[in-house]
Structure 1
Amino acid sequence: MDYLVLLYYCYAPIEDAEAFREEHHRLCLRLHLRGRIIVAPEGLNGTVSGRRADCEEYMRVVKADPRFAALEFKVEPADAHTFQKLHVRVKPEIVHVGLPDIKPYERTGIHLSPQEFKDMKDQDDVVVLDVRSDYEHELGRFKNAVTLDIENFREFPGKVEELAQYKDKKILTYCTGGIKCEKASAFLLEQGFENVYQLHGGIIKYGLEAGGEDFDGKCYVFDGRVAVDVNSVNPTIISTCHHCHTPSARMVNCANPHCNDHLPLCEACAEQLEGACSPTCQQHPDKRPYDGTGTYPKNSNNYNPEQGLLSYRAPAK
């Protein structure tokens, strides 16, 4: 495969996030990368796709910065770009949870390698905690994992009382790539939990290095692939079509933009409902045209740091 997909994050102080964003945006444009990158005073977070040589150069440049020397890239092959556009944005946090004062580079849960996580996850004194949103863990999760009823990660702090029953256990947190666990485990420590761990590199690294054993279903990812296989040892599908309830790991956004629910919908039902989650949404006057994908990328503001606000789309290379 000629392309790579890079998933990465690093908590490290960035003094001038706006200036860094401008410089980093230029780097991505030069290397013809596409994807979503967040820059914040607390660090860097991104998922990008590009030609193999361009991605390798990007990794070299990023890791050459002393602030990101410890950054680990999760690297997966791809047939083509998995993004249509490039977005590089400045935000208060690199993953939004509303806890900007928590600094994982100062204190966070104990990092477990995929093998260490695998060895610990079934022990009697361990609770495996999924810190992701509903639509993510409904698509795939570790066997016997504790899941939370949250639509967004920013709701996680409000669930701490529900987790109090596990204070005498070892809590193994996990998420897609590890970034949410950094803040989730740090927050749990702040709230008085003593034995808090995290799967370093997340589900993606666990799949790459430990075969994904005992991860049921597929892993939701925030690029054009939407759902990816993780488990090559004992795979299964746990999600079902929202409409007909047959097994399906095909995730779509409802074509009605006022609903926009993210849910599994099999191909047959998606065609029948024209991408909507229900007959009611199918009849909505604002329903978006269904092109067979069930994804509706946000419009870019077409910002190019070299030329200001112009129409820009990273060329294929």
Structure 2
Amino acid sequence: MKPYRVLLYYCYTTIENPGQFLEDHHLLCLRLNLLGRIIVAAEGLNGTVSGLAADCEEYMRVVKADPRFASLEFKVEENDTHAFQKLHVRIKDEIVNSDLPVDPTRRTGIHLEPAEFRKMKEEEDVVLIDMRSNYEHSVGKFKGAVTLDMENLRELPDHLHEIEHLKDKKVITYCTGGIKCEKASAYLLEKGFRNVYQLHGGIIKYGLEEGGEDFEGKCYVFDNRVVVDVNRVNPTVISACHRCAKPTDRMINCASPVCNNHVPLCEDCGWAHQGTCTDDCKNDPQLRAYDGTGYYARETQGYSPLLGYRSRKGSVNI
């Protein structure tokens, strides 16, 4: 068993004083030595954090003890180290950027547990729709799924015409952890789709509970790991190296900070081209040092986990 855990979670619930909640939650993460990204909004909580197993267990216990988060589910993965280099706890208007005029606490697609999804996806009148960004589904997606060339969920209305002909089908939406589908499925219902479902817990939960059958490639994640294995049943590779076109499921951020594109890059080309997607990027005078991972955190000079808290509150004792 690996010593660290990575927790992925979200919950739509009313937080009446997001500012105070943020302060308390930030202190909790500091006490437990957690790193990661957490978004707090009046509509709920969304986060991915990493830490030692015992610290993560305590974090889950404390969060679940709050009645507002009684329905929250944690997706728990093992890891060798922290999956993040910093801790960020922020307030935003939404816990996932969408700008979609819907309220998922009022109406959303029918939630399918992973076992239900595994059976239902085989039915003839079912269509799977990927609600993630283009670079995410370029490295991994469900077999036969409809994908949309969008950079974020805010663009879904611009692509609605591409799937309007599916209104009479059973539509199952899916994403990494389930959060995007709460609003995406609600939006499809508002636009006249009749039978809308969503994979509860997303790709990650499906992989953990059902072995990830028929998920082709790897799943893009927003931490140091970049991509993770999901399919333990019938894995395959669907992406090709951006440089040499050889099949690869390695994903990198271009080492040029001006570019920073997300592209598949095989290991040989990664080293040969210093982690860049084009020769122009390779000649960028600000080129970041490629270490084989293709992940680049923001500069950590002078950083400590207390920094974000102190920037808001001044000198404090924890």
Kept after mapping to 1: 8 A contact 2:167/2:193: yes
* 1:236-259 per-position Cα deviation (integer Å, ceiling 9, x unaligned): 111111001111111111111221
Kept after mapping to 2: 8 A contact 1:178/1:202: yes
**Counterpart in 2 of 1:15?**
16
Q: Distance in 2 between matches of 1:297 and 1:134?
A: 21
% same residue = 64
**Counterpart in 2 of 1:267?**
267
TM-score, length basis structure 1? 0.94
**Counterpart in 2 of 1:110?**
110
**Counterpart in 2 of 1:43?**
44
Instruction: Work out whether 1:175 is the aligned partner of 2:179.
Output: no
Q: Distance in 1 between matches of 2:144 and 2:222?
A: 24
* 1:4-37 per-position Cα deviation (integer Å, ceiling 9, x unaligned): 1100000111112111111100000000000010
**Counterpart in 2 of 1:315?**
none
**What does 1:135-174 align with in structure 2 at a 5 Å threshold?**
135-174=135-174
Q: Distance in 2 between matches of 1:306 and 1:287?
A: 31
Kept after mapping to 1: 8 A contact 2:129/2:172: yes
Deviation >3 Å, runs of 4+: 299-304, 306-311
**What does 1:225-264 align with in structure 2 at a 5 Å threshold?**
225-264=225-264
Superposition deviation, residue 153 in structure 1: 2.0
* Amino acid in the other structure paired with 2:309: P
Unaligned runs of 5+ in 1: 312-317
Instruction: Work out whether 1:189 is the aligned partner of 2:179.
Output: no
Kept after mapping to 1: 8 A contact 2:274/2:282: yes
**Counterpart in 2 of 1:34?**
35
**Counterpart in 2 of 1:220?**
220
Q: Distance in 1 between matches of 2:39 and 2:26?
A: 11
Unaligned runs of 5+ in 2: none
Superposition deviation, residue 299 in structure 1: 4.2
* 1:183-214 per-position Cα deviation (integer Å, ceiling 9, x unaligned): 10011111111110000000111111111111
Kept after mapping to 2: 8 A contact 1:304/1:310: no
**Counterpart in 2 of 1:314?**
none
Kept after mapping to 2: 8 A contact 1:15/1:41: yes
**Counterpart in 1 of 2:309?**
305
Q: Distance in 1 between matches of 2:162 and 2:126?
A: 16
How many residue pairs align between the two structures?
A: 311
* Amino acid in the other structure paired with 1:251: M
Superposition deviation, residue 103 in structure 1: 1.7
TM-score, length basis structure 2? 0.94
- Give the alignment's Cα RMSD to 1 decimal: 1.8
Superposition deviation, residue 115 in structure 1: 1.1
Q: Distance in 2 between matches of 1:309 and 1:239?
A: 46
Kept after mapping to 2: 8 A contact 1:39/1:94: yes
Superposition deviation, residue 293 in structure 1: 2.1
